Amino acid sequence: MGVAAADNATTTQTNSTSDKLPVSYSDTLGPWYHIPSVGTGFIVGYYINPRVTPISEINFTALKKAGITDIYVLANNNNYSSVLPEAKERADTVGIKTHAWVYPGFSHASEVAQMKIGVQLDVETYDMPDYLPEIKAMRQDTEGVPFSLAVKPERWDGNQYYYLIAPYCDYIVPMLYIADYDEGVTGLRNWAEFYNFIYPGKIVAGLETYESDQNLTPKDQTTVLEEINAVQYNTHGVILFRYGLSEFHD
């Protein structure tokens, strides 16, 4: 995901293998597609960029029926006070938990926590120790609500210092985008097991729902489920990320 991908998510994307736009995301994960329950407390998260798809246009009932348990709503210092309460109000009506998805420099974590909204800090960097003071401060500001860190995958992408950040968050979300790291489902399963062995109960897998950064074609439901199944026994959940517009519209 990262800063670059988040910025890209605000712009219409084209498939590098054709001049056509990617297939509608609803063809991969739509109201008709229910993610089977894999255990009490297992997170099935969904990233939302309200600059692309306004909260008012998202059908939260469809999200719930698709198996989504948590949403991660992109917020910044300028829009958090309007975007997050709207998202929480609508998510609460169907029993979905709300989290703010923020980047370094976000200075309102305590206010978000007072709204009873979780916070996920997206800090995908090669200089994790430099961000440790901000991580510690945000952990203090979010006592009483879930605080998580979206990060690059340890070992796949160098040393990401999980051992430093693990004590200061409820869970770590490695972006396990297998095609972008030349891995397969077997590798995904093995690394989820490895992470869980070292950080038991601390891992929620970030999964991409498109083929790769070079091919934005949505994966079919069989492929998405195969990846979820590969990590489910060694993670606390999954969060699904994609490019383009949400199709969970009213």
Neighbours of 108 (CB within 10 A): 20
Residue with the bigger pLDDT between 11 and 228: it is 228
Residue 185 CA to residue 24 CA, distance in Å, equals: 24
Residue 4 in tokens: 């670059």
For 121-162, what is each residue's pLDDT tens digit? 999 888 899 999 999 999 999 999 999 999 998 877 778 899
Pairwise pLDDT comparison (199 vs 208), residue with the higher score: 199
Higher pLDDT, 78 or 14: 78
Selected residue with higher pLDDT from 54 and 40: 54
The arithmetic mean of pLDDT across residues 191-215, rounded, is: 87
**Which regions of the chain does DSSP assign to beta strands (E)?**
43-48, 70-74, 97-102, 118-122, 147-151, 171-174, 205-208, 210-212, 215-218, 237-241
Tens of pLDDT along 159-199? 889 999 999 999 999 998 877 777 889 989 999 999 999 99
pLDDT at position 34, please?
62
What pLDDT score does 36 carry? 64
- Looking up tokens 């160098």, which residue turns up? 158
pLDDT at res. 73: 96
Sign, CA dihedral 101-127-178-227, equals negative
pLDDT of residue 65: 87
Q: Going by C-beta distance under 8 Å and a sequence separation of 6 or more, which residues neighbour residue 218?
A: 22, 23, 24, 25, 27, 28, 209, 210, 211, 242
d(CA 74, CA 246): 13
pLDDT in tens, 85-105: 999 999 999 999 999 999 999
Q: Name which of 127, 130, 123 is nearest 148 in CA terms.
A: 123
Q: Which residues contact 85 (CB under 8 A, 6 or more apart)?
A: 115
Task: Return the pLDDT at 103.
Answer: 97
pLDDT at 30 over 60: no
> Cα–Cα–Cα angle for 228, 234, 240, nearest 5°?
35
Helix axes 221-231 and 185-198, enclosed angle (nearest 10) = 30
Taking every pair of Cα atoms in the chain, the longest distance, rounded to a whole number of angstroms, is 47
What whole-number distance in Å separates Cα of residue 81 and Cα of residue 77?
Answer: 8
Both tokens of 12, joined, read 């219409």
54 or 244: which leads in pLDDT: 54
Give the integer Cα–Cα distance in Å for 109 and 88.
15
Q: Which CATH number fits domain 2-34+42-214+237-241: 1.10.10, 1.10.8, 3.20.20, 1.20.1530?
A: 3.20.20
Delimit the domains of the chain by residue range: 2-34+42-214+237-241
Query: What is the structure's pLDDT at 3?
Result: 31
Per-residue confidence (pLDDT) for residue 223, from 0 to 100: 83
More confident residue, 111 or 53: 111
pLDDT over threshold 60, residue 53: yes
What percent of the chain is modeled with pLDDT above 90? 56
pLDDT at 200 over 80: yes
Average pLDDT, integer, range 200-228: 83
